[in-house]
Chain A
């Protein structure tokens, strides 16, 4: 228990130091990665720990993003209440999706989440008058100030991203060390056994979807606030695939895996997009290779070989 917490706090400390020492380019990248990793941490709650593969998490990310973006843009809200609006939007959407989609299992669950997310994406396009559709809109620099802190300043932005990520990371650590987390893992490993040990499987799954969706929404809201852009791309299928990719690569069902996967994938794509405009080719190749050779992902392999205690 102490070892777990120590490891995670050490990771956060390292990331903090990196924020002060990294060269500008990588500092900017890492700020973005930390927000995206928050998204992956959220995705991991459902996919990694509960064993439910969603192909529609972009709708939760977008719910947070647009929940914050629209009230700032059209309602003139300040960042803190707007962030809460983003969280609430994502939480509400995830409750609705949970109640409906969890009536299905397996492949049907994947398709249903994909379909819901696709309707959310199309809805954003449809209300282009407010959302500016594909083109999106920019949240002006002047509006992105919280309590005297300028979120557009690179160091402040990095630290805000780190704070967001740390909260998500520690929240998940806390969850998986509690009985509720153990039950989620039990559902992943053997749903019928878990039910016949006296657990309400459905309510635990709903908890997982809502927590996963809300964390994803927090990442979406954070992204909009810290990088000042809101666009329909973030609701597209591609942004449902990304967290799956990050989590698979980093290690599904490990607390640190989502960050590891996001870092690797971001830099892989960053590097290859310098070589070709077909940079998503890398994503495809990595997905196929992971499917074939490393289903456990990086941290999953580490856990298997060296550190079985890793949460």
Chain B
């Protein structure tokens, strides 16, 4: 059964179609990567799914219910979690307070556990702004995971991470893969290959191809438009 479905989802910015009638289906439990060149409309697409960006046309269903006109916070409550492309944590609050807000309660043990997931357990009382960039990304992912979402949307989670941190990230997502459906925007093809069960390629706002990593790798249109010859 599909957890997320879109039909003709479109976003127009001043005459320009950033996302152009995208039909998309995401089965429950899948780890799905959304790839494509810069400006292909990936962030705009997940923005419309999560409710941050209003759709110009088209419809969205989540868990069998139409959510096209639902405000963002209600979509999150319905079981989505969203991590920003540009790190968005509460820099002036402690890690504990950051996670507590994600958990929607003040239970210290639960917050501790969530931090433990990403290896930040020792730093609960530090201010998030003092963490290194990589640790801030991990905190943001911890905040997404802490919500125990049905659908976790990650917008370029490994951007700016070091190789070792990427390995940790991959391990974390693999642990989650059984329980959570994951929609991942990713530029790093190694990460995509390591994690994604299926891939959708966007180009100029349209779906260029979809399928397993092998299908995509073999797809001549994708090679021409995106992977190039290299």
A-side residues, CB < 8 A to B, are 178-179, 182-183, 185-186, 189-190, 192-201
Contact = CB atoms under 8 A, between A and B. Distances in A.
B73 A190 contact: no
15 contacts: A178-B106, A179-B104, A182-B106, A186-B101, A189-B93, A190-B90, A193-B89, A195-B72, A196-B50, A196-B52, A196-B84, A196-B88, A198-B73, A200-B71, A200-B73
Given A195-B73, A199-B73, A201-B73, A189 B104 contact: no
A189 B89 CA distance: 9
Contacts of A197: 76, 101-102, 104, 143, 147
- The number of chain B residues touching the other chain, given as a range, is 20 to 34
Given A179-B105, A182-B100, A186-B101, A193 B90 contact: yes
A189 B90 contact: yes
B88 A193 contact: yes
Given A189-B91, A193-B90, A197-B76, 9 more contacts: A179-B104, A179-B105, A182-B97, A189-B92, A190-B89, A192-B88, A196-B88, A197-B102, A199-B73
Contacts, number: 55
Interface string B69-82: 00111101100001
Contacts of A190: 88-90
A158 B134 CA distance: 55
A194 B97 CA distance: 12
The residue among A190, A197, A199, A200 with the most chain B CB atoms within 10 A of its own CB is A197
Contacts of B92: 189
Contacts of A201: 73
A194 B72 CA distance: 11
Contacts of A179: 104-106
A1 to B, nearest CB: 10
Contacts of B90: 186, 189-190, 193
Given A196-B50, A196-B76, A182 B84 contact: no
Contacts of A195: 72-73
B43 to A, nearest CB: 13
Ranked nearest first, the 7 interchain pairs of A and B with the lowest CB-CB distance are A198-B76, A193-B88, A189-B90, A198-B77, A196-B82, A200-B73, A186-B101
A195 B84 CA distance: 12
A222 B159 CA distance: 56
A201 B72 CA distance: 10
Contacts of B84: 192-193, 196
A30 to B, nearest CB: 33
Contacts of A199: 73
A201 B73 CA distance: 8
Contacts of B97: 182, 185
The residue among A185, A186, A198 with the most chain B CB atoms within 10 A of its own CB is A198
Contacts of B71: 200
